[in-house]
Amino acid sequence: MTQIRIGQAGIPLSCKGRTNKDGIAYTHNQLDLNAIEIQFVRGLYIMADEEAAFIKNFAEENDMEIHVHAPYYINLAGEADEVEMSFEKIMRAATMADNIGAETVIIHPGFYGENSEKKTMKLIIKNVKKITGMMKKEKIRVKLAIETMGKQKVFGTLDEVIEVCKSVKDVVPVIDLAHIHARGNGCLKERKSFEEMFDKLVPLKLKKYIIHVTGVLYEDGNEFYHLPIKKGDMPIAPVIEIILDRKYTATLISESPLLEHDAVYIKLQVEKAIMKRTGKEEAHYKDLSEIA
Ligand SMILES: [Zn+2]
């Protein structure tokens, strides 16, 4: 059944406690959101067993979906030692992700460097196969997720990410809308362009669309930095409409500098879209029964 999940990347700004444990509880209890992307982005993240167990139990009991973001600097198309280091970072994040019951561990796959796009693709596919093999061997159930990237010199156009997902079993895309938009120098404005984007993903037969949402400042096909959704020039209404029209199951993660405030904004937009369909004056994003 179609389902929409909404959350933010990291501990909510308005949450007093600054641990991930505080963050997930606050996201559910105070914000009424049902997803969170936990950030293991800075260096070697250590989480105590007690905190990991709390997060896992809390998520199970309260129907929260968890994703994990691995450290930013990973290069699966680099020199041997760089790839080795990237494997270590991914394995550490994946193990942690598994401990807390996350669905995916999200990575930025790498850089072209001196290599051609084709050569880079070959290297990435080879090393993604390796790392998923290592994860399987360690009985890690978390899926590896590859993000679409927002700069020209970084591997990760939508087409490239789709190609990797087609080539390696159990690897899924993270559709970072702002990155696609920035890289295409503002390509996501009309509903039609969002439709074309989703159409490209159809062959992957995804059970769930994991989507990063934020406003973004860009120039010449390169992302500069994230903006609040309303300050950016990429609309989110078409995304919500398409998800509802196509009855997709989707998880929308706010990566805006306003984090949970924009996650709540997304939630209100989803509810507005549901109300438009039902003609009622109330809606809840978790309840799609009337429009399914
Ligand atoms: Zn990312």
What CATH number is attached to the domain comprising 125? 3.20.20.150
Fill in the DSSP letter of residue 231: G
Is 286 contained in some domain? no
pLDDT of 46: 76
Cα 251 to Cα 165: distance, rounded to the nearest angstrom: 18
Query: What does residue 205 show for φ and ψ, rounded to 5 degrees?
Result: 50, 50
Using the mean position of ligand 1's atoms as its centre, give its distance from the Cα of residue 113 in Å: 19
Using the mean position of ligand 1's atoms as its centre, give its distance from the Cα of residue 146 in Å: 9
Using the mean position of ligand 1's atoms as its centre, give its distance from the Cα of residue 197 in Å: 19
Using the mean position of ligand 1's atoms as its centre, give its distance from the Cα of residue 64 in Å: 20
What number of other Cβ atoms are within 10 A of residue 118's Cβ? 8
Is 266 contained in some domain? yes
Using the mean position of ligand 1's atoms as its centre, give its distance from the Cα of residue 273 in Å: 27
Whether pTM > 0.85 for this model: the answer is yes
Q: Tell me the three-class secondary structure of 244-272, residue by residue.
A: HHCCCCEEEEECCCCCHHHHHHHHHHHHH
Amino acid at site 81: D
Using the mean position of ligand 1's atoms as its centre, give its distance from the Cα of residue 276 in Å: 33
Query: What does residue 66 show for φ and ψ, rounded to 5 degrees?
Result: -115, 135
Using the mean position of ligand 1's atoms as its centre, give its distance from the Cα of residue 281 in Å: 36
Query: What does residue 199 show for φ and ψ, rounded to 5 degrees?
Result: -60, -40
Using the mean position of ligand 1's atoms as its centre, give its distance from the Cα of residue 30 in Å: 25
The tokens of 10 are what?
A: 């990291």
Domain count, the chain: 1
Which whole-number Å values give the CA distances from 2 to 107, 207, 243, 288, 291, in the listed order?
A: 26, 9, 9, 7, 10
Using the mean position of ligand 1's atoms as its centre, give its distance from the Cα of residue 278 in Å: 35
Enclosing domain of residue 19:
4-278
Which whole-number Å values give the CA distances from 34 to 62, 63, 99, 121, 290, in the listed order?
A: 8, 7, 19, 35, 20
Q: Are 8 and 30 in contact (CB under 8 A)?
A: no
Using the mean position of ligand 1's atoms as its centre, give its distance from the Cα of residue 199 in Å: 22
Is 251 contained in some domain? yes
State the Cα angle at 88 between 83 and 89, rounded to 5°: 95
Using the mean position of ligand 1's atoms as its centre, give its distance from the Cα of residue 75 in Å: 13
Which whole-number Å values give the CA distances from 221 to 3, 35, 110, 183, in the listed order?
A: 33, 30, 18, 4
pLDDT of 281: 96
Place of tokens 């989707």: 250
Give the three-class secondary structure for 102. coil
Is 284 contained in some domain? no
Using the mean position of ligand 1's atoms as its centre, give its distance from the Cα of residue 72 in Å: 7
pLDDT of 17: 95
Using the mean position of ligand 1's atoms as its centre, give its distance from the Cα of residue 148 in Å: 8
Is 112 contained in some domain? yes
Q: Where are the alpha helices (DSSP H) in the chain?
A: 20-29, 49-61, 80-99, 117-137, 158-167, 177-183, 191-201, 237-245, 260-278
pLDDT of 171: 98
List the pLDDT tens digit at each of the 292 positions of the chain.
899 999 999 999 999 999 999 999 999 999 999 999 999 887 556 788 999 999 999 999 999 999 999 999 999 999 999 999 999 999 999 999 999 999 999 999 999 999 999 999 999 999 999 999 999 999 999 999 999 999 999 999 999 999 999 999 999 999 999 999 999 999 999 999 999 999 999 999 999 999 999 999 999 999 999 999 999 999 999 999 999 999 999 999 999 999 999 999 999 999 999 999 999 999 999 999 998 7
Using the mean position of ligand 1's atoms as its centre, give its distance from the Cα of residue 147 in Å: 6
pLDDT of 43: 59
Is 289 contained in some domain? no
Beta bridge partners of 176: 212
